[in-house]
Amino acid sequence: MPALSVNTLTPPFWTRTTLAWLALLVVAVLVYVLGLDGQYVPTNGDELVYTHIARLTAASGHWLPLVSELDHMRNTKPPLLFWQAMVAGDWGQHWRMAALRAPSVIYTLLTALAVGWTLQLITRDVRRALLGACIYLAFFCTFRFGRTFLTSAPETFWLSLPVFMLLWWSLTHHPATARPAAVTHSGSQPTALGWLAHAGFGLAMGLGLAYKSFALVVPAAATLWCAQLVMLPRWRWTDALAISLKVGASAVLAVAIFSLWFVLDPDPLAVWQEFVVGENAGKMSNSAGYWQTALFGGGFSIWAQLLGYAQNAGLLVFVVLGLMLLGLQRLWQLKRQPLGAQPVDLWLVLIWLGVWLLVFTLPSQRSARYLIPAMPALAIVLALFWQRIGRGWFMPSLLLCCLFIGYLGRIAWAEHALGIGSSLELGLTLAAVGVGLALVLAGFVKSGWTRACTLAATLAVFAVFGLTTQPLNGPAGLYDKQLTQSLTGQHLAVPSSFNGQFERFEFLLPGNRFTPYDGDARNALPAADNKLELQRLLATHDAVVWLQTRDEAEHPLCAPECRVLGSRWEVKGRHQGGEITLANLWYPQQWLFRREWLVTRATNPAHAAATPANQTPAK
């Protein structure tokens, strides 16, 4: 593989191309902030579980122990994640999703900045640096897990920081490099990183472990160890031993920082049982048999894990596959060249990718999500080889962007037809759809623009998604403010089909006590059964949040024997077989949206004044 050259002259910053990449990066940042307080930000079910634990721990007035009302889901993650939320939410005084998610966005943007700075040091090209930052933000895993209240953003930043620092040290001390053998030819040997630097590495890794798990010390330390071995100008056992001792000390320091949890928690035995044994050791065992799952486990197999990086890339999946093929094509050239002929910075990044992939093929529970801390390395490699990846690999990604943008525009139109959102919101969404489709068309028509348009169109998909869901964060998707202010201290039955899903009502109807029931399961049941269940819930609770079933249209089943205090529109997350067909796929209003009513007994005087004068009870 030919060595990557480093430009000796930095291109001028104020060029149209550079400004265009800078504008795209600004757009990406705005997209990450758009709808941050929303209910339908791409995430997973863990976010509400973590929110539940953080809220109750903050309400206890103590940092530890962690508090949860969910069975076997208290010490599910180390406390640093929950402490972050407690501080961001001002110990419950300003408990909003935007506040809880904001630290994740900051971590993600700092990681994107580190990607850009690394590329700037490697190539001396601002445009390449901006490209790398945009690529990292265009990965779907970054968009989904890097701006929500989850562990991915902070763990990625802290576990990546030692490798970034190693790269920066290598590039600033030997900018002409970057070959390991080059320093040997000059007769000098690079100054090895000392114990103080490795103490810093251990501190950074320890903070990463304190967000996620002590187990991550394995890939993090192994990456640091292998990278420094590759940087050696000569392979001597004394140097290898010194590096091993220093990296070992960093790993011990990192685990020691994580272990402070056992020291500070008043119930360390519970931490051991719930987190170490239940959350971590369980992932190394499998009732179906290790090799059965590894070889024939479908999405949990080794073969699926090998495509984990491509899966995490989302809409850029074909571009990543093109990069992988490019690497295989040049593998023979690599075998015929000595190690010293390759840039050391490229080796470091490839080691970063390889070690994380290797380590996370070993557990019986495999997931592409475990590879997220190595995605900054993939962004760097993609940026370095961006122009060498064939144009044909970008075309399918453009086609995917076209399909998603077009269909999201159709959903926005259906929303407006149902009365969800204003004409201005629809206009802004359709304008973004138009821009996105124009980018796709430009990428198809003009070959020189294909790569840039693919990246811009991917970010356009994220923007259109945010604008499409924005009306559901307004009056149509929320209960009336007067209602939420008057309805406090009540016992409400709320739908919850996943662990902790009921926690979302802490933001919709704050100040009440919630008891969950499986609301989604009732959609397939007969109307008579659902009516009996609703009557039972009304008899045992002050009010019930009831989801529209297939037998309901304008009114809940209990009408007119019940009083509707308020209603809102909700997006269906789970569908029964046959609900979505080719015949109704183009009509999302038939299967995507449903009403959610807040109802109480008609004879309940406590809520007589709770219905706002401007609220239409039956809608």
**Listed residue (504, 474, 570, 459) closest to 149, CA to CA:** 504
Q: List Cβ neighbours of 483 (8 Å cut-off, separation of 6 or more).
A: 565, 566, 598, 610, 611, 612, 615
Q: What is the pLDDT averaged over residues 560-574? A: 89
Give the per-residue pLDDT at 490: 94
Q: Which amino acid is at 496?
A: S
Q: What is the pLDDT averaged over residues 20-49? A: 94
Q: What is the 3-state secondary structure (H, E, C) of 224-255?
A: HHHHHHHHCCCCCHHHHHHHHHHHHHHHHHHH
* Token duo for residue 435: 């821009």
Give the per-residue pLDDT at 4: 44
The residue extents of the domains of the chain are 96-263+295-388, 391-465, 478-607
The answer on pLDDT for 39 being more than 50 is yes
B/e letters for 351-388, b = 16+ CB within 10 Å, e = fewer, are bbbebbbebbbebbebbbbbbbbbbbbbbbbbbbbbee
Give the per-residue pLDDT at 301: 77
The answer to which of 176-185, 469-478, 564-573 has the lowest mean pLDDT is 176-185
The answer on pLDDT for 336 being more than 90 is no
Distance between CA atoms of 226 and 247, rounded to whole angstroms? 10
* Token duo for residue 375: 């995605």
**Listed residue (71, 74, 45) closest to 60, CA to CA:** 74
Q: List Cβ neighbours of 441 (8 Å cut-off, separation of 6 or more).
A: none
Question: In degrees rounded to 5, what are phi and psi of residue 516?
Answer: -80, 150
The answer on pLDDT for 277 being more than 80 is yes
The answer on pLDDT for 178 being more than 70 is no
pLDDT, averaged across the chain: 88
What percent of the chain stands above pLDDT 70? 88
Q: How confident is the model at residue 296 (pLDDT cuts 50, 70, 90)?
A: low
The answer on pLDDT for 300 being more than 80 is no
Distance between CA atoms of 367 and 370, rounded to whole angstroms? 6
The answer on pLDDT for 611 being more than 90 is no
Q: What is the pLDDT averaged over residues 246-251? A: 97
Give the per-residue pLDDT at 552: 83
**Listed residue (144, 86, 83, 493) closest to 312, CA to CA:** 144
* Token duo for residue 599: 């109802």
SS3 at position 442: helix
Handedness of CA 36, 37, 43, 48 (dihedral sign): positive
Instruction: Name the pTM for this structure.
Output: 0.91
Give the per-residue pLDDT at 291: 64
Q: What is the pLDDT averaged over residues 569-594? A: 86
Q: Which amino acid is at 359?
A: V
Give the per-residue pLDDT at 439: 97
Distance between CA atoms of 369 and 311, rounded to whole angstroms? 9
Give the per-residue pLDDT at 198: 96
Give the per-residue pLDDT at 349: 95
Distance between CA atoms of 54 and 68, rounded to whole angstroms? 8
Distance between CA atoms of 574 and 496, rounded to whole angstroms? 12
